[in-house]
Structure 1
Amino acid sequence: MTTRTFRITVRGVFDDLTPEQLAELRARAADHDVLFAAFTPEGHLSYDVDARAVFTFRFQDTGEAEEDILDATERAEERARAWLDERGYGHKNLRSQSEDLSQAPLGKRQRRANRSATG
């Protein structure tokens, strides 16, 4: 069976942060810049609390069947929630979006490479 790769984005809003928590987030902002965002098994967090109180976690997971994306999404949400709760960061409006890369349309270069390989 083929392994499927899932990309899960978990978004939310920081809520009721203390001045100390805001200072901590600002101090670590360079580590969480959206310019370095990547989908990783551990999850990558990006935010800019000076612009808006929103955050995004990006997770990559795998499964063998199409329905495994549901479990992967649940795991991603749990990891995001755990990261926030461990640090005492209040949050709200947590929501996720998942993509099965095996179902994603091929880009122009990928289509061209496939034609070259088969013909």
Structure 2
Amino acid sequence: MDIKKVNLHEKFDSFTEHWSPKIVGELNGQHVKVAKFKGEFVMHKHEHEDEMFMVIEGALQIELENKTLHINAGEFVVIPKGTLHKPIALEEVKVLLFEPNTTLNTGNVENEFTVKDLDIL
């Protein structure tokens, strides 16, 4: 087994598209993903998986049914399974995601944002 460190800045610099998570690591059936967000995503939920959003750079809003969360660089939030949520990035945001390897990025919704085959960086 070849153990390598991961440089997040290099990973983020290697792509430009928004709302297209990239796998940068795996542990215990979980994918560690990086993504750039900009604009509004789709309101969705994940029936079987919790989802963690950690903001590396920028500021992220996550709209819930009854409030909006504001997550800044250096902060994270765990969205429990079954919770409707919609990420919103007024400016580009760089995010680290921890999710089970079965998680579809749009959860219970399939649309133009859905990415089924994730790139591995």
What is the TM-score of this pair, normalised by structure 1?
A: 0.28
By relative contact order (CA 8 Å, sep 6+), the higher-ranking structure is 1
Which structure carries more helix by proportion? 1
Specify the structure having the higher radius of gyration (Cα). 1
What is the TM-score of this pair, normalised by structure 2?
A: 0.28
